[in-house]
Chain A
Amino acid sequence: MSAPSGTGPGRVLVAVYGIFALAATSRAAVQIATRFAEAPLAYALSAFAGVVYIVLTVALARGARRLAVAACLVELAGVLVVGTLSLADPAAFPDETVWSGYGSGYLFVPLVLPVVGLLWLLRGVRRS
């Protein structure tokens, strides 16, 4: 149960999550600071995504497995819900979030990442 989640392949995963934490958080910060009124829902979701990525980066790096699994599930739900909403009701999302169109603006990495994260975390549990 104590196999570290932030070493080996996990180290690359943490790096990718760290970059998304940086990207989503700074994007949200710019959006909220400069034009929050234009798309409050999209920008609030950007900020939420940023927080989820920060939590995941830290949880994976420090081996907080339970927290990481929970955050991965939130992340997966977020990508699927926001992705679907952004396609079903584009008017509600006049500006992009990381999760719009299932992360199409980020090479769909936001969609793949939680799946890879869960596989990595659950595989680690079984093995140790």
Chain B
Amino acid sequence: MNGAYSGWLIGAALLLALAAVVTAVRDRPMGPVLLAGLGLLELAVLAQAGLALAGLGHVAEKATFIGYLAGTAVIPPAAMWWGRAERTRWGPGVIAVAAFTVAVMTGRLLQIWNAGA
């Protein structure tokens, strides 16, 4: 796992959450930009999971670490599936919750990683 990469990932996730909140506040349904953002977030999360699993020997709390990796990978597609049917401002609301959660979980991943073996 790469700390700088994960830092950028957290920033990008928070940016997506902010964009989704702005969309919800403006009372718009989710558009292609938010959906694309969620797709990109998923790709970034999968890349991070690849990096992290490659260096798993470094981690002491393996079970927790893998749990967080799996969680971050599952959340964006779940949010897309659950939020897409909602054609109101609450669809972006779902995206905001998901993106914020990915940011927080990536932060926890970094903490566990930095704690080392």
Q: Interface residues, chain A, CB within 8 Å of chain B?
A: 7-12, 14-16, 18-19, 22-23, 26-27, 29-30, 33-34
Contacts and interface: CB of A to CB of B under 8 A. Distances in A.
A30 B83 contact: no
A22 B70 CA distance: 10
Tell me the interface secondary structure of chain A in the complex: helix
Interface of B: 63-64, 67, 70-71, 74-75, 78-79, 82-83, 86, 88, 90-91, 93-94, 97-98, 101
Contacts of B75: 19, 22
Contacts of A12: 90, 93-94, 97
Tell me the interface secondary structure of chain B in the complex: helix
Contacts of A8: 86, 88, 90
Contacts of B78: 18
Q: For the complex of A and B, list the 8 residue pairs with the smallest distance between their C-beta atoms, beginning with the closest.
A: A12-B93, A15-B94, A30-B63, A26-B67, A15-B97, A11-B86, A11-B90, A19-B101
Contact of B86 (A7, A22, A34): A7
Contacts of B82: 11, 14-15, 18
A75 to B, nearest CB: 18
